[in-house]
Amino acid sequence: MTDLMPKIFIGSSTGGYSIAEKVKENLSTTGDCYLWKDPDVWELNRSTFENLTRMVSFFDFGVFVASSDDLTMRNDKIVLEPRDNVILEIALFLGALGRNKSFLLVEEGIALPSDFHGIYMPRFVKNSDTSIKNACNSFTKKIEEHYRLGHFSLYPTTGLAMGYFKNFVSGLVETIQVADPLEIGGITYNDFKLKVVIPKDLTGYIREKAAQFYKRHCLIENSIKTKFRKYPTWFKLDPKQAPVAVLYDMPSTLTGIDDAIELILQKDFQGRTKMQEVIEQRELNNFRRVLQMQINRSPFSLASVEIIDEF
């Protein structure tokens, strides 16, 4: 599975759209960027507010341009303010995705709501491409760092990956370090490797998808005994590769993620939308990335576990 680029929504007022275009240009190598005027961003026959609340399920990050759009009287003084819809949109993303995934790019000299006081936000000068680029560089560093370290998403794949590693992979890996040799057909196997198979998609029950995978590749079911329990596993035994025995597992813990996504999207129809398919791939990608981070922390796992795509 190719590691997907994070999806970034870029919002602005109509007056600030030219700045938003420059933001997209600067962030295009960091993520898959969508401007609010881009095709397919807004779903037909839904209100603007409803579309926005659904967008937070689709995007990993949000960047919003606060430009000088309105003149407002504050404490008997006329001040420049951003358009109120931009403030509403950044607030929606902040509430749903958190402050590490939602950013406000602020034009120099404008006034923000008092709730933003004391919070550092990159500033730009309207006619200075350099200031916009510098501001975007700070977003790039934050996005790349946060995405590389793993991120908690609306769906439970982060927790599932951690639980799968701790409850299955970690115990199995410790076991195979001291497991008794496996003798089949007069061939002895005592060097065990584990391949975790990431399914192509989340359609159907993962347990059934896994069963089809094991059958399709003529894998042999067996178990490895441990001090506390047996680990049922599926083996690929090649006498030419002895004493190496390869174990395969497709994480059935992923079953139900598609149902969770449908609930979040409030689906009331059969079939799969493009947004749903993209979200599912993002969550599979997140599961893989978080699991790899867990593997990297364990020398035993790093030496014997590999994550592969369904084939």
| pLDDT tens digits, 122-166 | 999 988 999 999 999 999 998 888 766 655 555 578 888 999 999
Which candidate, 59, 63, 30, places its Cα nearest to that of 145?
A: 30
pLDDT given at position 216: 94
Q: Is 128 exposed, middle or buried (0-12, 13-18, 19+ CB in 10 A)?
A: exposed
DSSP codes, 139-188? HHHHHHHHHHH----SSTHHHHHHHHIIIIIHHHHHHHHHPPPEEETTEE
Which one has a higher pLDDT value, 70 or 58?
Answer: 58
Mean pLDDT of 238-242: 87
Alpha carbons 172 and 80: distance in angstroms, whole number = 62
Q: Which helix (DSSP H) or strand (DSSP E) does residue 72 occupy?
A: strand 70-74
Question: Which pLDDT band, with edges at 50, 70 and 90, does 87 fall under?
Answer: very high
Residue 229 has a CB neighbour count (10 Å cut-off) of: 11
| Residue 82 clears pLDDT 80, i.e. is over it | yes
Q: Which domains can be identified in the chain, with CATH numbers?
A: 7-149 (3.40.50.360), 157-309 (3.40.50)
Query: Any bridge partners for residue 221, and if so which?
Result: 234
* pTM for this prediction: 0.67
3-state secondary structure (DSSP) of residue 28: coil
- Whole-angstrom distance, CA of residue 52 vs CA of residue 238: 53
Instruction: Calculate mean pLDDT across residues 63-79.
Output: 82
